[in-house]
């Protein structure tokens, strides 16, 4: 076992200042969604939609099989971005805007996420925080887009170094 240097590195998302508009952040690993995931999510959220739970009914639809609940797809997509972008640096989700599901997700599909920062600005009413608009996109294992979600969040600005007073008007480069 190696000797510890006493240094600690903690995983975190990016501070407001580190998020760059127009950059594509690719998230890894992907997530394969199974039948049990879909059944559990649908029943936990009180969504008895036959298209998600009833194999016999779903066989009679244009899809020919059960589909993954689109809200599960959206939740996994946002979750894929957390470790890279918002772990410990988000204050709150402010809202979800335009959301699209251009192709269905089926049991056994693996979804991969990527995020583009559409816009960001410092909060006028909350010093040390900023508002960021994310565009999250999910693709299946074949590269087809299966979900696009616009999300607004309140993010923390980088804290002042220890021993220095906090600056209520953080400096950052405008893009």
Domain presence at residue 165 = no
Q: Which two tokens stand for residue 134?
A: 């994310």
β-sheet bridge partners, residue 24 = 116
pLDDT computed for residue 4 by the predictor: 72
Record the pTM.
0.88
pLDDT computed for residue 102 by the predictor: 98
What range does the domain containing 84 cover?
A: 16-34+69-156
Q: Could you report the per-residue pLDDT of 128-168, keeping only the tens digit for each?
A: 999 999 999 999 999 999 999 999 999 999 998 876 665 54
Domain presence at residue 140 = yes
Domain presence at residue 49 = no
Q: How far apart are CA 117 and CA 175, in angstroms?
A: 11
Domain presence at residue 100 = yes
Domain presence at residue 174 = no
Q: Could you report the per-residue pLDDT of 21-61, keeping only the tens digit for each?
A: 999 999 999 999 999 999 999 999 999 999 999 999 999 99
pLDDT computed for residue 161 by the predictor: 83
- Rounded to an integer, the average pLDDT of 101-114 is 98
Number of domains in the chain: 1
Domain presence at residue 63 = no
* Separation in Å, CA 6 to CA 2, 9, 163: 12, 10, 20
CATH number where 121 lies: 3.10.129.10
Domain presence at residue 41 = no
């Amino acid at each position: 076992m190696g000797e510890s240097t006493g240094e600690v590195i903690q995983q975190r998302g990016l501070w407001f200042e580190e998020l760059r508009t127009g950059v594509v952040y690719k998230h890894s690993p992907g997530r394969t969604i199974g039948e049990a995931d879909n059944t559990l999510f649908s029943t936990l959220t009180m969504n008895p939609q036959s298209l998600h739970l009833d194999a016999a009914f779903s066989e009679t639809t244009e899809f020919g099989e059960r589909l993954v609940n689109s809200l599960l797809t959206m939740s996994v997509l946002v979750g894929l971005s957390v470790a890279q972008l918002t772990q410990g640096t988000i204050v709150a989700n402010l809202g979800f805007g335009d959301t699209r599901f251009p192709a269905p997700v089926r049991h056994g599909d693996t979804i991969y996420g990527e995020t583009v920062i559409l816009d960001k600005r410092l909060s006028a009413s909350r010093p040390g925080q900023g508002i960021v608009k994310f565009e999250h996109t999910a693709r299946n294992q074949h590269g087809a887009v299966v979900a696009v979600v616009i999300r607004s969040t309140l993010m923390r600005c980088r804290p002042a170094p220890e021993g220095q007073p906090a600056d209520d008007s953080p400096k950052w480069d405008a893009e």
